[in-house]
Amino acid sequence: MRPYTVSNGRTRPTTALDLLSQVMATGVTPLGYLGPEHTQALELCRAPVSVAEVAAHLKLPAAVTKVLLSDLVDCGALTTKPPEFYHNPTDRSLLEAVLDGLRRQL
């Protein structure tokens, strides 16, 4: 199935979601019809999980996944919180350590 079909042609979520945003099911049952992808996403969110992880499990593009998750947030079935950075993500020593690790993998 084409990704734009899954999101009903929508390309923008109504909720601001980052790839590292955490989403979690609230226990509220959504009213109305949800597609199978919505149901799968909701199942994946029983425990806090990142948007990127949900996209990977659903094998859907991140943009489509954000639309699906946004639908679930809008109906109260999911809650979201922004990513928490314990370190400065632009800290030079952190970036150099990541680069060094990547070089060793190649």
How many residues are given for the chain? 106
76 contacts 23 by C-beta, under 8 angstroms:
no
DSSP secondary structure code for residue 84 in this structure: -
What pLDDT is recorded for position 83?
76
Write down the pLDDT at residue 19: 87
The domains found in the chain, sorted by start residue, are 3-105 (1.10.10)
Cα distances from 60 to residues 17, 24, 89, in angstroms, run: 15, 19, 26
C-beta separation of 6 from 35 below 8 A: yes
pLDDT in tens, 45-82: 999 999 999 999 999 988 889 999 999 998 899 999 88
